[in-house]
A and B are shown apart, each in its own frame.
Chain A
């Protein structure tokens, strides 16, 4: 048995009963979570998820350029209403359109149809150009709407909403855990990378580089498994038995009814334009 040495216990004087001046440093307000003024603020995350899926389905079903232009306009309007700003919209569009550029650029030349023009002997068709425009418009409309509805709310909210909408708890929890731990993994990666750099590691096209990177990612993987086990242990210590409890309770409000009304009007507009075009 261990010795029962009595360690001198010092009385911690605390006349005020508060936490002293350090309290302010510890409880600094968090600035980066302040949400911008948004017309969509307070809209139930479940409606946001459903709304973006319904919009995507409607847009994919459209097969004429003008209704698609209207769809893009609706999506742009929603992004602005969500208060996300042109800069963020531009970043998303740059990433999306950059990855689609090759397809859109080559489609007019690879789709047979009525001749429109030629470049270096390769003929572009009207049908090909129309098809390329449709694909670009559809992708942009869907991406912008997803940005507006999902990007303007915190990811954990979306995770909880998915769970409430019947997505299996494990999948929803995977999303939530990813959000929580991606930064922790990133920190671990940066620490290991720094440790390599301070010992003179530089990326080269060499076996040494590939082997070292292999060790880096292997170590990251091993540490992730260890961490996962520790997280699992911490969860079990608090009574986790495989069932994820849910704290978040959603309730539909008047704001949600307004959102539903506007969404229905937007879909009706799309349908009307489509019918008028036919």
Chain B
């Protein structure tokens, strides 16, 4: 079991407990459209509770990725409310705390890994949240060790293979010690050994999670509850 590392990072000390009955995320009546186009989300309600492993499925363009981006505050809903970690979130400052406590894995790892080396990329998040370079380096090494990727620490991110990139991208998220994981097609484009390895890693992680995927077998092995996005709401 990969235990959340006991990161003693300043800004995180003020975390409110997220256990008990309060869901980690509670979305109510969310409505969202890109520009003046048709609504992507239309009155969506959803809750993610501690320890839940949710499969988010739906056809292409049904708004799955948009939903995760809304939960992280990367785009803002036109209607409805987002509650995360016990508080309503609507401003950039409010979502800043959400981003410290929930980790989003992007579809394309090239979007996520922008630092020159693996260790710098994993340290990026902890540094942003107030860790010293020494602490950040230790967190990065701990995370890589926990995932069995320590040999990659000083590798250039642009020279990693596709499978390595995905696992390192996951490491950059886990390095933030999140309480919830939002994974956008984590197994897409991976070969079978890498998918198996990813499943094994996810299985050992304690965090609540939402996983978007079109791979039914992968979802069957990594999630316990299934939600389908249809017509802008959960079907």
Contact = CB atoms under 8 A, between A and B. Distances in A.
B197 A19 contact: yes
Contact of B111 (A10, A29, A159, A230): A230
Contacts of A236: 74, 99
A6 B129 CA distance: 36
A194 B46 CA distance: 43
B114 A231 contact: yes
Interface of A: 1-10, 12, 14, 18-20, 22-23, 25-27, 29-30, 32-33, 154-156, 159, 176-177, 179-181, 183-184, 227, 230-231, 233-241, 243, 245-249
Contact of A2 (B133, B197, B226): B226
Counting chain B CB atoms within 10 Å of each CB, the highest count among A12, A18, A233, A234 belongs to A234
Nearest to B103: A237
Given A7-B224, A235-B114, A247-B119, A12 B128 contact: no
B79 to A, nearest CB: 17
A239 B125 contact: yes
A27 B167 CA distance: 11
Nearest to A23: B148
B24 to A, nearest CB: 16
Contacts of A238: 99, 124-125, 128, 172, 176
Contacts of B156: 33, 154, 156
Contacts of A7: 55, 219-220, 223-226
Nearest to A21: B193
Interface string B141-170: 000000011011001111101011001000
17 contacts: A2-B227, A10-B221, A18-B148, A155-B116, A156-B117, A179-B116, A180-B113, A183-B158, A184-B110, A230-B108, A231-B111, A233-B74, A234-B104, A235-B124, A238-B124, A238-B125, A247-B137
